[in-house]
Amino acid sequence: MPYFDILKKDPGSQARTGTIHTAHGDIQTPAFLPIGTKGAVKSITSEELKFWGADIILANTYHLWQRPGDALVYKAGGLHKFMGWQGPIFTDSGGFQVFSLAKMRKVMEVGVMFQFDMDGRSEILSPEKSVDIQANLGSDIALILDDFPGYPFEYERSKESIALTKRWAERAIREHQKIVIDGDPVNPGQKLWGIVQGASFPDLREQSAKDMVAFGFEGFAIGGVAVGEPHEEMMKAVSYALPHLPETAPRHLLGVGTPFDIVRATGLGCDTFDCVIPTREARHGRLYISAVSSPSPSGRGVRGEGNTTEGYSTININNEKFKEDFTPVDNGCDCYLCLNHTKSYLRHLFATGEPLAIRLATMHNLKFYLNLMAKIRKAITYDYFGEMATNYKEI
């Protein structure tokens, strides 16, 4: 059985549906990975995620290494058992922290030296160390440690970063093979994926993609995007990398994005996505809603259809205008919040600091994202992806 089965290709774009087979089950693509950085999708249970149709979640090497420590997770029998999630797990390598914790780290050939925020001690995360930690966590998809500078993109620095990422990749692969052959890994079926860097420079993206393909990875992630660059720059970066990756391999777009970004990137050929947007913004009161749910100019909303292509918008539930709005957040949504509560109530929960506010809002946004992916899969399957894509605009 191939690692990745392509089920249907969209005739009008590079979009496709497929299935990734992992040691903990299948992933229907295009897929969205809810983010559970520290071994928990904030305020949400594993059972709920599974019930809503999340096939896979993402956790973070850097954070779990720091606390509770990968040795403890190993003792617990791996992250799946530790957190009670039976499905596939994707672990980020800590590469993103190379970028996001810029003020407290130093990039060196051997790896990245971090000063932990918890206790101030310094530790070096090397490509080997990252692989070791991910092996102890027992994720189904592990990533190589990568390096990337932030935005604005600079050619020379980006060139250095793809070269460093390549050298690190080689070391990561060697370590991964060593663990598989010599060790007693928590998850013998774990796959190591490569990461393509290169900012929005065509030649660097091409070079980085070819570097990674040459290593023989079975899956690839595109990194270094959504770091503050304009949307078009991001799409260019993706479009420069994808043609150089094997069509038969799954491609993940790291850290992306808005519904608009996801629809666009799917059209370019990306299969999986992860992003903090639905969960973080939920905690801040920003909710994603289908466009048909918002009052039309005539003042009437229309209930969403199963195969709708309606697009989306957002609301800030904290806004005063929702104080006495006794209608659901999204008429077309089937989440617990929308089926049971009003905007007025949710706003009240936020205003009073009730923990339930965060939970309900997170439930809603995750359901929105997971529903979006289901709509995308359906649209590709039934040949109306192109039409659907035109309705998803930047907001």
Partner RNA sequence: GGGCAGGUGGUAGAGCGGUCAAUUACACCUGACUGUAAAUCAGGCGCCUUUCGGCUACAUAGGUUCGAAUCCUAUCCUGCCCA
Nearer to RNA, 172 or 304 (CB): 172
Give min distance, CB of 338 to RNA, in A: 19
Say if CB 113 and CB 62 are below 8 A apart.
Answer: no
Nearer to RNA, 278 or 304 (CB): 278
Residue 56 corresponds to which tokens in the numbers above? 């896979």
Q: What are phi and psi of 33, to 5 degrees?
A: -105, 110
Residue 170 corresponds to which tokens in the numbers above? 């080689």
203 a catalytic residue: no
Type of residue found at 4: F
Helices (H) and strands (E) in the chain, counts: 15, 16
Say if CB 142 and CB 134 are below 8 A apart.
Answer: yes
3-state SS assignment for residue 92: strand
Give min distance, CB of 27 to RNA, in A: 16
Q: Out of 10, 55, 70, 92, which one is annotated catalytic?
A: 92
CB atoms within 10 A of CB 276: 14
Give min distance, CB of 35 to RNA, in A: 4
Nearer to RNA, 274 or 304 (CB): 274
3-state SS assignment for residue 379: helix
CA distances (Å), origin 197, targets 147, 155, 204, 326, 387? 8, 12, 8, 47, 31
Rounded-to-integer distance, Cα 373 and Cα 222, Å: 19
Helix (H), strand (E) at residue 338? helix 336-340
Nearer to RNA, 226 or 338 (CB): 226
Give min distance, CB of 179 to RNA, in A: 19
Rounded-to-integer distance, Cα 192 and Cα 169, Å: 10
117 a catalytic residue: no
Give min distance, CB of 252 to RNA, in A: 9
Give min distance, CB of 377 to RNA, in A: 20
What residues make contact with RNA under the rule CB under 7 A?
35, 37, 41-42, 58, 60, 63, 92-93, 95-97, 99-101, 103-104, 117, 143, 146, 148, 195, 221, 223-228, 231, 254-258, 261, 274-277, 279-281, 283-286, 316, 318-321, 323, 351, 353, 355, 358
CB atoms within 10 A of CB 100: 13
Type of residue found at 177: Q
Give min distance, CB of 168 to RNA, in A: 11
Nearer to RNA, 316 or 391 (CB): 316
Nearer to RNA, 188 or 228 (CB): 228
Rounded-to-integer distance, Cα 123 and Cα 113, Å: 6
Alpha helices in 56-120 (DSSP H): 61-66, 70-75, 79-83, 95-100
Rounded-to-integer distance, Cα 128 and Cα 149, Å: 21
272-274 and 31-33 strand pairing: parallel
Nearer to RNA, 186 or 221 (CB): 221
Which residues lie across from 314 on neighbouring strands?
Answer: 288
Q: Counting beta carbons within 10 angstroms of the beta carbon of residue 387, is it exposed (0 to 12), middle (13 to 18) or buried (19 or more)?
A: exposed
Give min distance, CB of 139 to RNA, in A: 12
Nearer to RNA, 5 or 160 (CB): 160
Minimal CA–CA distance to 262: which of 250, 249, 275, 244?
Answer: 275
Q: Active-site residue numbers?
A: 92, 274
